[in-house]
Amino acid sequence: MQKIKFIQYALAAALSVGFAASPTQAAEPIKIGVLTPLSGTYASLGQQVRWGVELATREINAAGGIMGRQIVLLFEDEEANPAVATPKAEKLFQVEKVDFLTGTVNSGSTLAVGQVAERNDRLIATTVSFSDAITGDKCSPNVFRVNAKAGQQSVALAAWMSTAVPEAKVFYLGPDYEMGRSTVQAFKTAAEAKGAKTMGEVFAPLGNKDYSPFFGQIRAAHPNVMYTSVAGNDTVRLFNQLSEYGLSRNLMLVGASGTVTSQNLGAMGKAAEGFTTGVGYSVDLDTPANKTFVKTFQDAHQELPDLYGADSYGVVYFYKAAVEKAQSTETAKVRAAMEGLEWMTPQGMKEMRAGDHQAVQDMYVTRLQDGKFSVLSKVDGKDAIGPDTCTRF
């Protein structure tokens, strides 16, 4: 009996020592909500978002987490629809109690979820949305953007086009929602400042199946350049139909950086050849950090990263750097730490501008040649970002 009691005592003592000696194992995880399209037209973009955040999370957790706390990712499908994104953001904040949220693709979703974040006193960061309004006239103190906005892309692309096609005659075709109209306006402003002439514009519904009704208007305008900011499966349909109807033979196709990606390129083949864009990331950036990232990403997912994968990978490190700087996950402290923060990404060092929460980064012009994007030119980040127009904070 005495022997049994001794064993019980020894076991209880060992267990109590074990728990006392491992405080980090008992620490609450940091929860990051990832609200991104996992179905529908923009599912391919959401796939890159998911891969990027998952890769960064695995690396950070393997290295000890953030301040000794592991990261847990909670995914929800926003379907690239603000009406769907809003209640799911509420769920992530109110029920799941996430510390931080990222992943929104649709610019309207980002703006709507930003309002939800304000009501819940939480922070979000987009890695995809292009609309200038997000960090411009509709800016929010609780919203950050780590990817390049439409204006940054446009400055780089318009500067290149002014040399490649002097006094270009440009026709615009965008998706009919916040991002589409914002990107068209941003490039139109930048292109006209460089001497281009606007020949017309149309906006098609998101998920449009047939673009041929617009082709008569395009032909009648006699452009030599067409700018578009459609994305995902919409790009596949547009570019294949342009090729089928013979329009692309007489047009230089340029557009937003998300129009042609590794996710939809295979479905277009030669129809996308020659497409040129202004972008904040390219797999062929010749830096050690990018080479390591591309190899690790490709080994993990058997596909190359695109700008969405790269920026979604980078946003997790952005949040990590801010929390460690703040020594807290409290919203006010992390927000203050994010403002003016510099952090390393596959593209190189980025800086988060404090005045509007827009990342400053170098921009590139890339062209699709033989199925691969190649860098044609570069614009310094401080020259591409433009003025801070946010007045809310």
Domain ranges of the chain: 30-148+284-361, 151-279
pTM of the model: 0.86
Q: Choose which CATH entry (3.90.580.10, 1.25.40.10, 3.40.50.300, 3.40.50.2300) describes domain 151-279.
A: 3.40.50.2300
Estimate to the nearest angstrom the gap between the alpha carbon of 178 and the chain centroid.
Answer: 15
Q: Tell me if 30-148+284-361 shares its fold with 151-279.
A: yes
Name which of 334, 316, 326, 320 is nearest 121 in CA terms.
334
Q: What is the pLDDT along the chain (393 residues), one digit of tens a residue?
A: 444 443 343 434 433 334 343 444 458 999 999 999 999 989 999 999 999 999 999 999 999 999 999 999 999 999 999 999 999 999 999 999 999 999 999 999 999 999 999 999 999 999 999 999 999 999 999 999 999 999 999 999 999 999 999 999 999 999 999 999 999 999 999 999 999 999 999 999 999 999 999 999 999 999 999 999 999 999 999 999 999 999 999 899 999 988 998 889 999 989 999 999 999 999 989 889 999 999 999 999 999 999 999 999 999 999 999 999 999 999 999 999 999 999 999 999 999 999 999 999 999 999 999 988 999 999 999 999 999 999 999
The 3-state secondary structure of 132-199 reads: HHHHCCCCCCCEEECCCCHHHHHHHHHHHHHHHCCCCEEEEEEECCHHHHHHHHHHHHHHHHCCCEEE
Greatest pairwise CA separation for the chain in angstroms: 100
pLDDT (0 to 100) of residue 16 = 38
Task: Please name the helix (run of DSSP H) or strand (run of DSSP E) that holds residue 348, with its range, or none.
Answer: strand 348-352
Nearest to 53 by CA among 184, 115, 146: 146
Report the C-alpha gap between 169 and 328 in whole angstroms. Answer: 53
Which pLDDT value is given to residue 184?
96
10 Å Cβ neighbour count for 204? 21
How does pLDDT run across 135-148, given as a tens digit for each residue?
Answer: 999 999 999 999 99
Overall fold of domain 30-148+284-361: Rossmann fold (3.40.50)
- Give the per-residue pLDDT at 371: 87
Instruction: Please give the pLDDT value at position 263.
Output: 82
Angle in degrees, 0-180, between the axes of helices 307-326 and 288-301, rounded to the nearest 10: 110
